């Protein structure tokens, strides 16, 4: 056809294709999960657009996904009657990777297929996984609402380029046909395909249909009948009762909605009834996404209203410090035509946000208490984000404080494993404060001369070096009545903890050094507020401290760096 065009893949796509084929081969049946997942997303999108434009359905409202195979052609076809793609959409969506963090992801690849497979897992695989088993992929698509003659055929052999050509297609939606590589014939089998679909895609809320088959004694083989049957449960997973859902199904559902390849760390599934009515199925991922610190990164959960998909990334449904949570919230309290602006204002949304925050905090408390290794894994990935909650979520500040973990002089390690409760449990007789030292790195903070006296007295000090710490501390002033106290500030009342001899000794020293103190005061003049003899140093001769009520030097440097 003369109007067929050949276009090159974005460089990243080429890299991804190559990597995928070589590193995910041992788990090749995931291609089916990814293509079914896309078909399901496409149907969700159509249903959503049709809320305002019901004519898009053109009389066909029974959304479904079909999986067929052809032994002679050696093909598998996954088709849907969802939203479809225009030519431009096909070029954009199947020729480039738009996800944020893409560049960073590719810069981390090492060439070692084992390590890279891990990374791909975190990135998500998607459409291109078709090329693990296919030597050629054809995508025939017609966007809902456009004419029969304006369909598109996208084809590629998964190397440098792809072609697009205008074609006709009688019905709306997309069918993806895979021309299998040699040796992949195991997928040309109804049993095998059903097994893979049940394993990976049972949670899909739309019917996934395959042709019925019957044993033909004469031919001595299964033959297909002209009749479709649904091979999955086809009900939205979150609407089923917990006892009917296996862990495996929860995990597969997570992979579908989070576009993650790895299992989730934990989840919570609840139905709330009464004044407000909603279902929440929320997951904590194992890995921080690439865009966790990206202002425009994905955040929030999928919103459904009475089973109808409304939007991805509804960030209003969770506070910002829980932006790593993925999942679904399905409510009966919002109108189908709800917009992001309405979400912003809605009282019902506030109730859901508060309820969801509590659920996640309970889930974390449960992990911290019963599965400390898993909690430690969580903390490494998301601890810095959770710390933001101390400032952002005043109502849950105390619960968040209990979930915090710090490095400490107790273990003398940069690992953040000590909770406030651990610290308080080790406090000395007469100690009424929680001491901390802060710095730009663990090494800088833990080598502070201020620590000398604390080490000598055997007093534990928390070592804070994350960027958010100072900010967090401006909201978190104490824990269970024990003031959080910087050891770099003046007026540290360590005397209570000194014994009688020590006190007498210090008084004598102060007397002896009075003349020196006077000379230093004169010499330093305006530059200091005060010069005094201290008992807080052991090996260093002198140190600079700030007054109790002033900004710490670390925070001052941060503010200066920020131009304030
Ligand atoms: P993701 O699903 O994470 O967005 P994929 O690689 O699986 O990434 O798919 C890329 C994009 O291609 C989708 O976001 C979608 O826009 C488009 N797409 C893929 N399959 C279909 C389909 N069956 N119908 C409509 N659009 C599709
Ligand atoms: Mg996908």
Which atom of ligand 1 lies nearest, measured to the CA of 80?
A: 23
440 is known to lie in a ligand binding site = no
Indicate if ligand 1 lies below 6 Å from the C-beta of 177. Answer: no
The best mutation among 56, 93, 139 to test binding of ligand 1, ranked by most ligand atoms within 8 Å of the C-beta, falls on 93
pLDDT at 542: 80
Give the chain's end-to-end CA distance (angstroms, integer).
Answer: 63
Indicate if ligand 1 lies below 6 Å from the C-beta of 259. Answer: yes
Indicate if ligand 1 lies below 6 Å from the C-beta of 16. Answer: no
**Is the CB of residue 305 less than 8 Å from the CB of residue 336?**
yes
Q: Which tokens hold the place of 158?
A: 């998964």
pLDDT at 563: 62
Protein residue with its CA nearest to atom 12 in ligand 1: 93
pLDDT at 1: 47
Nearest ligand, CA 37: 2
Q: Which tokens hold the place of 38?
A: 């896309």
Q: Which tokens hold the place of 364?
A: 């974390």
Q: Which tokens hold the place of 428?
A: 């000395």
pLDDT at 439: 92
- 3-class SS at 465? coil
Exposure b/e, 322-354, CB count within 10 A at least 16 = b = bbbbbbbbbbebbeeebeeeebeebebbebbbe
340 is known to lie in a ligand binding site = yes
Indicate if ligand 1 lies below 6 Å from the C-beta of 82. Answer: yes
**Is the CB of residue 249 less than 8 Å from the CB of residue 203?**
yes
- Other C-beta atoms within 10 Å of 109: how many? 16
**Is the CB of residue 464 less than 8 Å from the CB of residue 406?**
yes
Distance 42 CA to ligand 1 centre (A): 8
Residues 6+ apart with CB under 8 A from 424: 434, 479, 480, 482
Weakly modelled stretches of the chain, pLDDT under 50: 1
The best mutation among 10, 33, 41, 121 to test binding of ligand 1, ranked by most ligand atoms within 8 Å of the C-beta, falls on 41
Q: Which tokens hold the place of 382?
A: 């998301």
Tell whether the torsion through CA atoms of 90, 93, 94 and 95 is positive or negative: positive
pLDDT at 549: 64
463 is known to lie in a ligand binding site = no
User: Shortest CA distance to 305 belongs to which of 340, 333, 276, 268?
Assistant: 333
Pairing of strands 65-70, 75-80: antiparallel
Q: Which helix or strand (DSSP H or E) is residue 177 part of?
A: strand 173-180
Q: Which helix or strand (DSSP H or E) is residue 140 part of?
A: strand 134-142
pLDDT at 495: 60
Crossing angle (nearest 10°) for helices 190-201 and 30-52: 60
Tell whether the torsion through CA atoms of 231, 234, 238 and 241 is positive or negative: negative
**Is the CB of residue 472 less than 8 Å from the CB of residue 523?**
no
Does this model's pTM top 0.90? no
How far apart are alpha carbons 155 and 165 in whole angstroms? 9
């Amino acid at each position: 056809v003369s109007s067929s065009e050949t276009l090159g893949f974005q460089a990243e796509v080429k890299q991804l294709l190559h990597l995928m084929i070589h590193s995910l081969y041992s788990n090749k049946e995931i291609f089916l999960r990814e293509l079914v997942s896309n078909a399901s997303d496409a149907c969700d999108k159509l249903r959503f657009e049709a809320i305002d434009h019901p004519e898009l359905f053109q009389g066909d409202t029974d959304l479904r996904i079909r999986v067929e195979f052809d032994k002679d052609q050696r093909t598998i076809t996954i088709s849907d009657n969802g939203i479809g793609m225009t030519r431009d959409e096909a070029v954009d969506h199947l020729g480039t990777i738009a996800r944020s963090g893409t560049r960073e992801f590719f810069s981390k690849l090492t060439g070692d297929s084992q390590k890279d497979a891990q990374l791909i897992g975190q990135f998500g695989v998607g459409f291109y996984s078709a090329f693990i088993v296919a030597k050629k992929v054809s995508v025939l698509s017609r966007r809902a609402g456009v004419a029969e003659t304006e369909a598109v055929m996208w084809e590629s052999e998964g190397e440098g380029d792809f072609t697009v050509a205008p074609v006709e297609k009688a019905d709306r939606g997309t069918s993806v046909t895979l021309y299998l590589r040699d040796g992949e014939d195991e997928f040309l089998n109804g049993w095998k395909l059903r097994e893979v679909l049940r394993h990976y895609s049972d949670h899909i809320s739309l019917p996934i249909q395959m042709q019925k088959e019957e044993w033909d004694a004469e031919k001595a083989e299964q033959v297909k009948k002209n009749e479709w049957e649904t091979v999955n449960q086809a009900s939205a997973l979150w609407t089923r009762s917990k006892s009917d859902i296996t862990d495996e199904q929860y995990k597969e559902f997570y992979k579908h909605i989070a576009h993650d390849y790895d299992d989730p760390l934990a989840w919570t599934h609840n139905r709330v009834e009464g004044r407000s009515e909603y279902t929440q199925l929320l997951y904590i991922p194992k890995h921080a996404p690439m865009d966790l610190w990206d202002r425009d990164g994905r955040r929030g959960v999928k919103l459904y209203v009475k089973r109808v998909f409304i939007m991805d990334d509804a960030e209003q449904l969770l506070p910002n410090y829980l932006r790593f949570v993925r999942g679904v919230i399905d409510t009966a309290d919002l109108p189908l035509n709800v917009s992001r602006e309405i979400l912003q204002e809605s009282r019902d949304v506030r109730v859901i946000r508060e309820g969801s925050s509590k659920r996640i905090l309970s889930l974390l408390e449960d992990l911290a208490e019963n599965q400390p290794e898993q909690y430690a894994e969580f903390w490494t990935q998301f601890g810095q984000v959770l710390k933001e909650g101390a400032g952002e979520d005043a109502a849950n500040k105390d619960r968040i404080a209990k979930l915090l973990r710090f490095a400490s002089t107790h273990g003398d390690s940069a690992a953040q494993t000590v909770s406030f409760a651990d610290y308080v449990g080790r406090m000395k007789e007469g100690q009424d404060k929680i001491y901390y030292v802060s710095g730009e790195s663990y090494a800088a903070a833990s080598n502070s001369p201020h620590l000398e006296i604390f080490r000598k007295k055997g007093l534990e000090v928390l070592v804070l070096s994350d960027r958010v710490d100072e900010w967090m501390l401006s909201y978190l002033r104490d824990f269970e009545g024990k003031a959080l106290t910087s050891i770099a500030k003046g007026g540290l009342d360590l005397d209570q903890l000194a014994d009688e001899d020590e006190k007498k000794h210090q008084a004598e020293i102060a007397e002896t050094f009075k003349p020196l103190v006077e000379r230093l005061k004169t010499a330093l003049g305006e530059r200091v507020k005060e010069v005094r003899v201290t008992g807080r140093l052991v090996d260093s001769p002198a140190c600079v401290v700030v007054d109790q009520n002033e900004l710490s030097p670390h925070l001052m440097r941060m503010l200066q760096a920020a131009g304030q």
